[in-house]
Structure 1
Amino acid sequence: MDIEQARFNMIEQQIRPWDVLDLEILDLLAIVKRELFVPTAYQALAFVDMEIPLPAGQNMLAPRVEARMLQELGVRKHENVLEIGAGSGYMAALLAHRAQHVTTLDIVPELADMARQNLARHGATNVQVIEADGAHGYAAGAPFDVICVSGALPVVPRTMLDQLKIGGRLGAIVGAAPVMTAQLITRLSDTEFQTVNLFETMATPLIGADDLPRFRF
């Protein structure tokens, strides 16, 4: 397989058509080598428009979903980011190129170790991987400028929203099969939040999300 041609095709045929037009992000997708974050058994599928299996029944999000979410979050160099669901570490690596610091959580020890090793190989020095349950966020590190949830939630819990700074943004895939919606939630004040529905998609539920209360804000 011609890896660079496959990467080019992924960007041009999957990601650009999904309205990912930020040139810095498109360039970043060429810098952060996705194939190095994919489990060895699935490396031939690294650039395919699909979720890639990870240990413990988890998955890497499809490339177009990762790229679109990264664009919508609009991370800036001075910002402190929380990612919930480290997985293989790929999304954390993308976020790290745009943020001052990234904290990424995973409840699965094997995934936390995988992310830690992959990020170290990539040379990401501004990422901290923590083995923890992130279904309610990470109060110990709050407040955050950006929260990125790399797994589906039935609802976004208020405890997580309260960990955003005013002006902060949260990106998550919300709902239940067969219809889930990627949302961008911006904190406008202590009590007010703005929600924008971005696109419909499907994603593997975040571990622990089933225990979240079924109410909305």
Structure 2
Amino acid sequence: MAHIDYYFSVFSPWTYLAGLRLEDIAARHGAQIIYRPLDLLALFDRTGGTRPAARHPSRMDYRRQELDRWADRMGMKMVAQPTIYPPNPAPASYAIIAAQNSGAAPVGPLVHGILRALWADDRDISQDDVIRDILRDTGFDEALVTTGLFDGAITYEKNLDSAIVQGVFGAPFYIVRESDQRFWGQDRLDFLDAHLGTLA
């Protein structure tokens, strides 16, 4: 069985646009996904990236066009500029970590539900009531918002350190452990799919 370390941010529009394609690919190849939410802005700071707020306007204008193109191609609703952006990613990330540890249900729908809440429904995903709703709707105990805080905080910090060691510099980022093949961006999922086929 292949194992995919999946590094992502709960407020990354590109992670939202990945939808549930990773989960479909993993299921097709019998691969296991390890969800590793991280602090994307801190990752940029530590790997030579530039935070969006500091990027040249021409780069940000092009980014907006690309997001529109991809949302249209994927048939996904997308709010051009969420009201609260960037939201504090920690609470939702902690909840994802706690949910994964609980093993109560598949984690993919939870991750996508949080991203969809931000990018399609314009909800503030840093708020406990929003996270509780999504946990409940995806088969998890909504109490994980509070009970998962301690372990979530520790793992969240470790995920950032692990990402840097493994060569991660953006999100979404996929690493196949068995081959150390790395794929950056939702537009590289076809390459990940093809690679997993070579490991069978």
Question: Between Structure 1 and Structure 2, which shows a larger proportion of strand residues?
Answer: 1
Higher relative contact order (CA 8 A, sep 6+): 2
Question: Between Structure 1 and Structure 2, which shows a larger proportion of helix residues?
Answer: 2
Normalised to the residue count of structure 1, the TM-score between the two structures is 0.27
Normalised to the residue count of structure 2, the TM-score between the two structures is 0.29
